[in-house]
Amino acid sequence: MPRIVVIGGVAAGMSAASQARRRQPEAEVVVLERGRHVSYGACGMPYNLEDPARSMEDLVVLTPEKVRERGIDLRTRHEVLALDPAARTLTVRDLDADRTGTLAYDALVIATGASPVRPPIAGIDLPGVFFLRELRDGQALKRHLAEARPERAVVVGAGYIGVEMAEALVKRGLGVTVVEKLGQAVPGFEPAIAEAVREELEGHGVAVETGVTVQGIERAGSGLAVVTDRERYPAGLVLVSVGVRPNVALAKAAGIRLGETGAIAVDPGMRTSAPGVFAAGDCAEARHLVSGRPVWVPLGTTANKQGKVAGANAAGADETFAGIVGTAAFKVFDVEVARTGLGFEEAKRLDRDAVAALSRHASRAHGYPGGRTNTTVVVAERGTGRLLGAQMVGETAAKRIDVFATALHAGMSVEDVEGLDLSYAPPFAPVYDPVLIAATVARKEAAAGRAVPVPAATS
């Protein structure tokens, strides 16, 4: 009986194991997970933390017992120490039994995920300093909020998680300061989008300090203080959220090739450079459909899709993962922020002759109550008008960006997008949806040949 082993039991890992079980029912499918939890929605942790009455366990999709009922040999608290691709064996440590052994495999899926970046600053390990990546991180943070009852928090890093957590902590009644080393909130977004995010944060009482370098974290009375090159920020809680890195040490030590992004290099079938070894999720690269290059975009959607392909192929199928366009979205208080494809600076680095077109348009019909002004930046190829990317902030931005994502998959131009038959009803959209207006502006900019980024501007 063939044995398919999966290292990692969260998004990519459980997708791989479930698919392998379906495709090859006679196979022995083993999942090795270092932690105690599997199959949980880590992206939901900021929203769970908002509500002191909710258990963090609410985010668990499948308990270990349910996984085992499906015929998968799940072994939690098992850490893989080494991989020998030539012998097709793993060295595995049972953390609870404090015992190390060898496990052979016929096919292997590496789904080791990613870990938070731990900046080399003094005080990073002090009590009251938290990261937010695994379910246990969320549990520890929630306990601290309940037991220590901090009044102030400092969030180090203004990326997706940092911004979402700023909102969650405000809703828990804390005063929040966000400090970001780079010159804008949500680095990687266009300046106009980033400025709108900053305004939304500040409008809800969050202090946003950009261009600030954290020099250390120290004890201050009964709490902490974040020391920067600008000033000292007191806090009863510090959340460090400055990015993540792929967990590739195991693969690298085994001689498996890493890609240009630093994640594991894979082909469209999620095969690595080692025979019989596949990789999926936050530890693996993906192909960007706009640039045509390998990228590392650690998101749950990609992890689940890659895991499904890896698991199927580990069971003998020949599936392929088409690639991504980098679609992502998050919420900050009363607005949604979303992006897909290339940003203007990304396009320039790839030597694309691009323009960035800014537009602002109402999210609902004139005269219908509510709604907001949506800000959109569309990146297009100069002359041809080929759509390269889009970003939006406002009402229902997360679903409107899906129109642009679909257009990128289809290789459409901004003129093609401009002609789409999108829905209209006063509660949902004006006659000309913000997507259509943004495409019209981008078509004109591309034809005019302007090749300068739009400035940060406010409505």
Listing from the earlier edge strand, what are the strands of the sheet with 175-180?
Answer: 129-130, 237-240, 152-156, 175-180, 207-210
pLDDT value of position 383: 92
Tell me the sheet residues that pair with 378.
357, 390
Name which of 53, 83, 47, 23 is nearest 278 in CA terms. 83
H-helix or E-strand containing 196? helix 191-203
CATH architecture of 3-114+245-314: 3-Layer(bba) Sandwich (3.50)
426-442 pLDDT tens trace: 999 999 999 999 999 99
pLDDT at position 448:
82
Which pLDDT belongs to residue 367? 86
φ, ψ (nearest 5 deg) of residue 79:
-105, 130
We find that the CATH architecture of domain 328-448 is 3-Layer(bba) Sandwich (3.50)
Cα dihedral: 18, 24, 29, 35 (round 10): -20
Ordered mean pLDDT values, 10 residues apiece, the chain (459 residues) = 96 97 97 94 94 93 93 97 98 97 98 96 97 95 96 97 97 98 96 97 98 96 95 97 97 98 98 98 98 96 97 98 97 97 96 96 92 96 96 96 98 97 95 97 85 44
Amino acid 456: pLDDT? 47
pLDDT at 335: 96
The whole-angstrom separation of Cα 290 and Cα 187 is 20
Q: Is 43 a catalytic residue?
A: yes
For residue 18, the model assigns a pLDDT of 97
Looking at residue 451, its pLDDT comes to 44
Best CA proximity match to 72, nearest among 6, 160, 158:
6
At 1 the pLDDT is 84
Q: 118-242, what's its fold?
A: FAD/NAD(P)-binding domain (3.50.50)
At 28 the pLDDT is: 98
Beta-carbon contacts of residue 58 (< 8 Å; ≥ 6 apart) = 48
Candidates 43, 140, 350, 422; catalytic one: 43
Give start-end residues of each CATH 3.50.50.60 domain in the chain. 3-114+245-314, 118-242, 328-448
Tens of pLDDT, residue by residue over 106-144, are: 999 999 999 999 999 999 999 999 999 999 999 999 999
